[in-house]
């Protein structure tokens, strides 16, 4: 033990001396490794941040996976999807086939509000019709309420008839939104309760708890069908990304079923040639098995180190039950929300990091090889003075260790500086639906650990090869070679 | 030779062969030799006669192909590979032709280094190193780096370094081989002084008869065999010197 401690002392002192002597070449290698690790840290921290953003926001919409009709796409989830046939039966099949998985049927519609009568801008939102009990269990929406309240049993969820809506035939012939808006309520009916995004309340004066506003809803995925309804805001929620949560509002799924005529409808509609068809005030008995999307929550994974892998696994599991439908995973949303190039960029970045690190490792090895060639006589002398092979090995190994540690720490420090500069400057990028997202970074322990361990491992391995060679030199050969090299 | 004492080093019929590609060279051929405590021995011979090989075998830097090397009564062939380095560090001191100081270390650090390798206390080593540096006349430059010293000064430091672990035997391979004649004389005077004052057994190799004449005992090697072993400057020695002068004419710095 004592010998080992002594070895560490002498070896590390000699290693430091070697590093000082060759500081220029090692400084170049250290800087290259550090910059590589800086880009790794920035990419990872940004990806972590984006994942957090997507986690905070889109998981409200999707949970772990979402099943949609084959005619819908991921973009429709921020608007209106095509109705999913047999939604109730499919949800039941997923739950019974995949133990531990939970599902909820949602109804979707896209709305516009703020009619410009008070000089306000017209804004858009996606209304998601939720099942308060199941959806709260799956997405925890009630926990995100920051003002007002979540749905309760006394809320006026149903009116017993459909609202007034029109169907305009053909594109380019936009509907007049004021039509029907004065006839949105019959008698003393209460407006439908909704939960809006807190960010919407900040930017739009019509949106706040207790306020009633008229929303024109696009109720069909692929046709121009609009319904005009009054809603009352009962609560505001916050998802974590202020400008994104303004987009998604929640209504009771049954309310939206009534609006979208998901049930048994009786009564007459009116058709005006050249204008369109008027539907409205038809008595309806809603069908709770009808819906537009099914959100799926998988059981908690055993570990969280590979959320993307877990997300893909969940998608595959659900797809195996409903092979004829489209299944989007949380990771698909990440790609959609954070940019479809995200994965490609990540792979390219990892590739370039791997190539750079490999070259740095090779540089360390060859620099040390040439140093050992020049220092053969010195190594021979140390062996003559009683240095064991292990001590010689450590002299060069420690150099690798020190190079790796300095490069790792420098990389981390540089990336923190860059992150602070970006935060200070307040850089933003365009996010979904025309919103701006502030660029941010989240450093987790795993990223830090990799940023430190990767260069250390690389340089230690790179140094170990010449270190072993130096350690194995026979003292007499080392002394003789040294003389020859003079 | 003080036959009553036990030898510090005993070579028992050692041979060293180098070979390859069908050619075998007998660098040492059945060399037997005993060196006793306090002796100051020079080994001389023409280039390629096996002087350095002999010194390397004595210093456990190289293994003989045949025969045994006993140091301080111990059969070194029975010491394991790992422990041989430790044994070398404890028992032997080395002085090299090209000094082999570590350039980035100061004079004092260079002297201390073998002691640190042998895990000795740094403070005690420093104290001892200063005494040794004073003895070799280079204490005033103890904070300078090795590379800033002249050849003679560097070799003085190397001598102090060889003594830091209180070796039973100091081995010097062409200690004046890289020095001018004045510096060579000074270095040999230092080695003689150290031998007398500290009674350190010393063996040095030289191709130069004048340098070899500093030895109180001179061993002459030729073709890997001992052809002469004389005490002091006997009549025999003068004859040997004459023969060697002829043999080493135009010879290299070392063997």
- Partners of residue A376 in chain B, C-beta under 8 Å: none
pLDDT at B253: 33
- Partners of residue B82 in chain A, C-beta under 8 Å: 388-389
> Average pLDDT in the A330-338 region?
72
Q: Is the pLDDT of residue A245 over 80?
A: no
Closest-approach residue (CA) in chain A for B105? A17
Tell if the CB–CB gap between A387 and B117 is shorter than 8 Å: yes
Phi, psi of B168 (to 5 degrees): -85, -20
> Average pLDDT in the A333-345 region?
63
Tell if the CB–CB gap between B113 and A385 is shorter than 8 Å: yes
Residue for token pair 């998981």: A59
Radius of gyration for chain B, computed over Cα atoms and rounded to the nearest angstrom: 18
Most confident of A49-63, A75-89, A241-255, B54-68: B54-68
Q: Is the pLDDT of residue B133 over 90?
A: yes
Q: Any CB–CB contact under 8 A between B90 and chain A?
A: yes
Q: Between residues A47 and A229, which one has the greater pLDDT?
A: A229
> Average pLDDT in the A101-130 region?
79
Name residues 37-76 of chain B within 8 A of A (Cβ): 56, 59, 61-62
ipTM of the complex: 0.87
> Average pLDDT in the A458-462 region?
93
Tell if the CB–CB gap between A17 and B114 is shorter than 8 Å: no
Residues of chain B with pLDDT > 90, as a percent, come to: 42
pLDDT at A57: 66
Secondary structure letter of residue B76 according to DSSP: G
Q: Any CB–CB contact under 8 A between A474 and chain B?
A: yes
> Average pLDDT in the A118-123 region?
60
Q: Are A108 and A219 in contact (CB under 8 A)?
A: no
In residues, how long is chain A?
486
Q: Is the pLDDT of residue A83 over 50?
A: yes
- Partners of residue B98 in chain A, C-beta under 8 Å: 377, 482-483, 486
Tell if the CB–CB gap between A475 and B118 is shorter than 8 Å: no
pTM passes above 0.80: no
When mean pLDDT is compared across A50-59, A73-82, B125-134, the lowest value belongs to A50-59
Secondary structure letter of residue A71 according to DSSP: T
Q: Any CB–CB contact under 8 A between B117 and chain A?
A: yes
pLDDT at A478: 86
Rounded CA gap, A374 and B120, in Å?
29
Three-state SS letters, A72-96: CCHHHHHCCCCCECCHHHHHHHHHH
What pLDDT digit, counting tens, does each position of A307-318 carry? Answer: 778 888 899 999
Type and span of the H or E element at B91:
helix B81-91
What pLDDT digit, counting tens, does each position of B209-223 carry? Answer: 888 889 999 998 888
Q: Is the pLDDT of residue A484 over 50?
A: no
> Average pLDDT in the A389-393 region?
91
Q: Any CB–CB contact under 8 A between A483 and chain B?
A: yes
- Partners of residue B88 in chain A, C-beta under 8 Å: 383-386
Q: Any CB–CB contact under 8 A between B151 and chain A?
A: no
pLDDT at A326: 93
How is residue A373 written in tokens? 């060639």
Chains A–B, number of C-beta pairs less than 8 Å apart: 79
Tell if the CB–CB gap between B90 and A483 is shorter than 8 Å: no
> Average pLDDT in the B63-90 region?
87
In angstroms, what separates the C-alpha of B61 from chain A's closest C-alpha? Answer: 5
Q: Between residues A278 and B92, which one has the greater pLDDT?
A: B92
In angstroms, what separates the C-alpha of A21 from chain B's closest C-alpha? Answer: 7
In angstroms, what separates the C-alpha of B4 from chain A's closest C-alpha? Answer: 31
pLDDT at B170: 94
- Partners of residue A23 in chain B, C-beta under 8 Å: none
Tell if the CB–CB gap between B85 and A383 is shorter than 8 Å: yes
Q: Where are the beta strands (DSSP E) in A190-335?
A: 192-197, 212-218, 225-237, 248-252, 263-265, 270-272, 276-279, 284-286, 293-297, 326-329
Tell if the CB–CB gap between A381 and B85 is shorter than 8 Å: no
Tell if the CB–CB gap between A391 and B117 is shorter than 8 Å: yes
Tell if the CB–CB gap between A385 and B102 is shorter than 8 Å: no
Tell if the CB–CB gap between B254 and A377 is shorter than 8 Å: no
Closest-approach residue (CA) in chain B for A388? B85
What pLDDT digit, counting tens, does each position of A182-223 carry? Answer: 445 666 788 999 999 888 887 777 889 999 888 888 877 666
**Mean pLDDT over each residue of chain A, to the nearest integer:** 82
């Amino acid at each position: 033990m004592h010998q080992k401690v002594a070895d560490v002392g002498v070896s590390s002192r000699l290693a430091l001396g070697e590093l000082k002597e060759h500081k220029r070449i090692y400084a170049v290698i250290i800087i290259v490794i550090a910059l590589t690790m800086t880009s790794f840290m920035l990419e990872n921290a940004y990806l972590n941040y984006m994942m957090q953003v997507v986690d905070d926001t889109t998981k409200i919409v999707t949970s772990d996976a979402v099943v949609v009709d084959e005619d819908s796409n991921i973009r429709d989830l921020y608007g209106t999807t095509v109705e999913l046939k047999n939604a109730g039966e499919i949800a039941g099949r997923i739950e019974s086939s995949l133990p531990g998985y939970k599902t909820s049927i949602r109804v979707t519609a896209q709305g516009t509000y703020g009619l410009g009568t008070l000089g306000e801008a017209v804004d858009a939102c996606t209304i998601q019709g939720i099942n308060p009990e199941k959806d709260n269990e799956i997405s925890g929406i009630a926990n995100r309420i920051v003002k007002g309240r979540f749905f309760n049993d006394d809320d006026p969820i149903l009116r017993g008839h459909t609202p007034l809506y029109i169907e305009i035939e053909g594109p380019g012939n936009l509907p007049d939104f004021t039509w029907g808006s004065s006839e949105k309520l019959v008698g003393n009916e209460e407006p439908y309760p909704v939960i809006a995004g807190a960010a919407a309340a900040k930017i739009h004066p019509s949106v706040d708890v207790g306020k009633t506003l008229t929303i024109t809803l696009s109720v069909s995925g692929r046709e121009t069908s609009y319904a005009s309804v009054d809603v009352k805001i009962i609560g505001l929620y916050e998802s974590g990304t202020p400008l994104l949560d303004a987009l998604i509002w929640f209504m009771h799924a049954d309310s939206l079923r009534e609006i979208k005529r998901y049930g048994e409808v009786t009564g007459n509609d009116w058709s005006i040639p050249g204008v369109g068809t008027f539907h409205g005030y038809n008595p309806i008995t809603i069908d709770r098995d009808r819906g537009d999307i099914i959100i799926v929550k998988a059981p908690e994974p055993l570990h969280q180190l590979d959320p993307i892998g877990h997300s893909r696994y969940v998608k595959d599991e659900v797809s195996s039950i409903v092979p004829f439908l489209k299944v989007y995973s949380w990771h698909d949303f990440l790609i959609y929300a954070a940019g479809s190039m995200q994965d490609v960029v990540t792979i390219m970045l990892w590739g370039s990091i791997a190539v750079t690190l490999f070259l740095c490792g090779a540089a360390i090895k060859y620099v040390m090889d040439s140093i050992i060639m020049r220092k053969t006589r010195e190594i021979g002398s140390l062996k003559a003075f009683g240095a064991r092979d292990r001590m010689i090995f450590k002299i060069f190994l420690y150099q690798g260790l020190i190079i790796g540690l300095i490069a790792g720490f420098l990389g981390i420090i540089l990336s923190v500086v860059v992150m602070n500069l970006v935060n200070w400057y307040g850089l933003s990028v365009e996010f979904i639906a025309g919103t701006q997202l502030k660029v941010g970074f989240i450093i987790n322990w795993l990223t830090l650990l990799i940023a430190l361990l990767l260069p250390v491992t690389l340089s230690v391995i790179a140094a170990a090869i010449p270190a072993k060679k130096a350690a194995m030199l026979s003292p007499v050969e080392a002394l003789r070679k040294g003389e020859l090299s003079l | 030779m003080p036959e009553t004492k036990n030898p510090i080093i005993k070579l028992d019929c050692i041979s060293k062969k180098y070979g390859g590609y069908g050619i075998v060279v007998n660098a040492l051929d059945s060399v037997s030799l005993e060196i006793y405590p306090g002796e100051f021995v020079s080994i001389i011979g023409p280039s390629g006669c096996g002087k350095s090989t002999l010194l390397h075998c004595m210093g456990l830097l190289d293994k003989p192909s045949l025969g045994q090397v006993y140091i301080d009564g111990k059969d070194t062939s029975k010491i394991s590979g790992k422990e041989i380095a430790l044994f070398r560090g404890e028992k032997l001191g080395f002085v090299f032709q090209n000094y082999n100081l570590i350039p980035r270390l100061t004079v004092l650090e260079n002297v201390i280094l073998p002691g640190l390798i042998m895990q000795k206390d740094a403070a005690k080593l420093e104290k001892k190193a200063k005494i040794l540096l004073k003895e070799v006349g280079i204490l005033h430059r103890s904070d300078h780096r090795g590379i800033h010293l002249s050849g003679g000064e560097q070799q003085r430091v190397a001598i102090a370094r060889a003594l830091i672990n209180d070796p039973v035997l100091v081995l010097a391979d062409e200690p004046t081989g890289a020095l001018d004649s004045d510096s060579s004389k000074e270095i040999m005077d230092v080695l003689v002084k150290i031998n007398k004052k500290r009674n350190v057994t010393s063996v040095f190799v030289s191709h130069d008869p004048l340098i070899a004449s500093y030895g109180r005992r001179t061993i002459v090697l030729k073709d890997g065999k001992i052809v002469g072993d004389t005490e002091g400057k006997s009549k025999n020695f003068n004859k040997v010197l004459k023969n060697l002068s002829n043999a080493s004419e135009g010879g290299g710095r070392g063997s």
